[in-house]
Amino acid sequence: MRQSDLFPKTKKGEIRDAVFANHIYLVKAGFIDQLMSGSWTLLPLGWRVVGKINQIIREEMNAIGAQEMLMPLLHPSSVWKETERWKKARSIMYQIKDSLGKEFGLAFTHEEIVMDLLRKNIQSYADLPVYVYHFSTKFRNEPRARSGILRGREFLMKDLYSAHISENDLMEYYEKVKSAYCKIFDRLGFSYRVIEASGGVFTKNYTHEFQVPVDSGEDLIFYCDSCGWGQNKEIFLGKEGDFCPSCGKGRVLSSNAIEVGNIFPLGTWFAERMGVYYIDKDGKKKPVWFGSYGIGPTRTMGAWVEVSHDDKGIIWNKQMSPFDAHLVLIGEGKVREKAESVYLKLKKVGFDVLFDDRDVQAGEKFADSDLIGIPVRLVVSESVQDNLEWKFRNSSKKEILSFDAVVRRLKA
């Protein structure tokens, strides 16, 4: 991609009302644009990052047998009245009427919709288990938040739903999903904690939150400095410095954190309210056991910026970066010709390269490169002659490498 063609260009100066790093840098660098509070366009750069996150999630969902589909966002009120969430979730759900007075809700989650699907398509134990997921928009009437893309009134979620014949079967799959979520956040490069949280009205079991510790996070978590135990502030009854209630050896620490994922073993609460039954081997009618599992890809992108930036801009890793390398041309004439040929050759080898071919000052190009945050910067200039200057975004070390050496390193 030629930077001269990239829409939009980076922004100079202050971003109004922006306090969080993700808000400041994602807007300045041209990844996202705010339409109104909590409502964001994912611009071409941002959409590339979210695409990379989604692909990793998709691979790990498919690896545990889940099938991708797509459910609607406009729901009849009737289905939400069956569980009484039409009333209970009124403060979070956008509820609207059409010109004939018919009531609809905008999707803030999809349990009721999956339940409706299941009761139309499940008869016996042979039809279970079912694992289905989608990536789609959720609408939530969030109180006005200033945390950038971390809290949207409209945001992307990957939500997986599973239905089972028994609690055992549900809990076995629940553990599989937990491992898959760990793989996802490992592959994305996060330091994170798996934190126990309350199951609310749905289940006596714990639910689990995937939390990224960072000062700017809205949540407060408690965790052991020695084992993997952790709980959120809603359920932890002790205090910082206590011995770990799980291993007894470590001490409890606390941290602010951003919740990027949450998994719920929901049990039979939904099946009982919506009449989702199957006929078991013994000929008896039984309610379906149900779980739901969510990750917010847009919040995940924002969380990365919160944990990985400096005073110049974003520092992406290889997994999430919108491009494999940022090729920067410094010079004119023969140097431009050389940069053009390097760009075409890198593309031909299969790399996704952002090529700063613009006719602007070197200082501005380097500042933009740091702001956008692609992990590898390659400079073509008079002084490197037939070679390229390689620099990682998170290091000041510059190395002069041949084209072939650059290709080998980018492939590594």
Chain positions contacting ligand ATP, by CB under 6 A: 140, 142, 151-152, 155, 157, 259-262, 294-296, 298-299
User: Which of helix, strand or coil describes residue 369?
Assistant: helix
CB of 257 to Mg ion, least distance (A): 12
Q: Identify which of residues 61 and 376 has a Cβ nearer to ligand ATP in the complex.
A: 61
d(C-alpha 190, C-alpha 193), whole Å = 10
Q: Identify which of residues 136 and 166 has a Cβ nearer to Mg ion in the complex.
A: 136
Q: Identify which of residues 291 and 375 has a Cβ nearer to ligand ATP in the complex.
A: 291
Among 109, 216, 262, 298, binds Mg ion (CB under 5 A): 262
Residues 195 and 231 sit within 8 Å (Cβ to Cβ): yes
Alpha helix positions (H), 205-327: 269-274, 297-307
Residues 250 and 222 sit within 8 Å (Cβ to Cβ): no
By a kind-dependent CB cut-off of 5 to 8 A, residue 152 interacts, out of Mg ion, ligand ATP, none, with ligand ATP
By a kind-dependent CB cut-off of 5 to 8 A, residue 301 interacts, out of Mg ion, ligand ATP, none, with none
Q: Identify which of residues 157 and 163 has a Cβ nearer to ligand ATP in the complex.
A: 157
CB of 115 to ligand ATP, least distance (A): 17
Q: Identify which of residues 137 and 361 has a Cβ nearer to Mg ion in the complex.
A: 137
CB of 207 to Mg ion, least distance (A): 8
By a kind-dependent CB cut-off of 5 to 8 A, residue 142 interacts, out of ligand ATP, Mg ion, none, with ligand ATP
CB of 44 to ligand ATP, least distance (A): 20
Residues 104 and 75 sit within 8 Å (Cβ to Cβ): yes
Q: Which residue is nearest to ligand ATP (CB)?
A: 296
CB of 298 to ligand ATP, least distance (A): 6
CB of 261 to Mg ion, least distance (A): 8
Q: What b/e sequence results for 181-201 when a residue is b if at least 16 CB atoms lie within 10 Å of its CB, and e otherwise?
A: beebbeebebebbbbbbebee
Alpha helix positions (H), 122-220: 167-187
CB of 227 to Mg ion, least distance (A): 23
d(C-alpha 176, C-alpha 268), whole Å = 20
Q: Is 300 in the site for Mg ion (CB under 5 A)?
A: no
CB of 61 to ligand ATP, least distance (A): 14
Work out the number of other CB atoms within 10 angstroms of the CB of residue 56.
19
Q: Identify which of residues 3 and 34 has a Cβ nearer to ligand ATP in the complex.
A: 34
CB of 142 to ligand ATP, least distance (A): 5
By a kind-dependent CB cut-off of 5 to 8 A, residue 140 interacts, out of Mg ion, ligand ATP, none, with ligand ATP
CA distances from 12 to 54, 315, 362 (A): 30, 19, 16
Q: Identify which of residues 260 and 330 has a Cβ nearer to ligand ATP in the complex.
A: 260
Q: Identify which of residues 132 and 295 has a Cβ nearer to ligand ATP in the complex.
A: 295
DSSP structure class, residue 144: P
By a kind-dependent CB cut-off of 5 to 8 A, residue 147 interacts, out of ligand ATP, Mg ion, none, with none
Q: Identify which of residues 105 and 296 has a Cβ nearer to Mg ion in the complex.
A: 296
By a kind-dependent CB cut-off of 5 to 8 A, residue 155 interacts, out of Mg ion, ligand ATP, none, with ligand ATP
Residues 92 and 108 sit within 8 Å (Cβ to Cβ): yes
- Based on the number of CB atoms within 10 Å of its own CB, is 30 exposed (0-12), middle (13-18) or buried (19 or more)? buried
- Angle of CA points 321, 55, 376, to nearest 5°: 15
By a kind-dependent CB cut-off of 5 to 8 A, residue 299 interacts, out of Mg ion, ligand ATP, none, with ligand ATP
Work out the number of other CB atoms within 10 angstroms of the CB of residue 136.
16
By a kind-dependent CB cut-off of 5 to 8 A, residue 255 interacts, out of Mg ion, ligand ATP, none, with none
Site residues (CB under 5 A) for Mg ion, limited to 156-175: none
Site residues (CB under 5 A) for Mg ion, limited to 49-108: none
CB of 375 to Mg ion, least distance (A): 30
Q: Identify which of residues 216 and 262 has a Cβ nearer to Mg ion in the complex.
A: 262
375 prior amide bond cis, ω within 30:
no
By a kind-dependent CB cut-off of 5 to 8 A, residue 313 interacts, out of ligand ATP, Mg ion, none, with none
- List the structure tokens of 189: 């490069």
The rounded Cα 206 to chain-centroid distance in angstroms is: 22
d(C-alpha 228, C-alpha 247), whole Å = 9
Q: Concatenate the DSSP letters of all residues of 193-233 into one string.
A: EEEEE--TTT-SSPEEEEEEE-TT-SEEEEEESSSS-EEET
d(C-alpha 185, C-alpha 255), whole Å = 19
Half-sphere exposure of 264 (CA within 13 A, CB side): 22
Which positions lie near Mg ion, rule CB under 5 A? 262
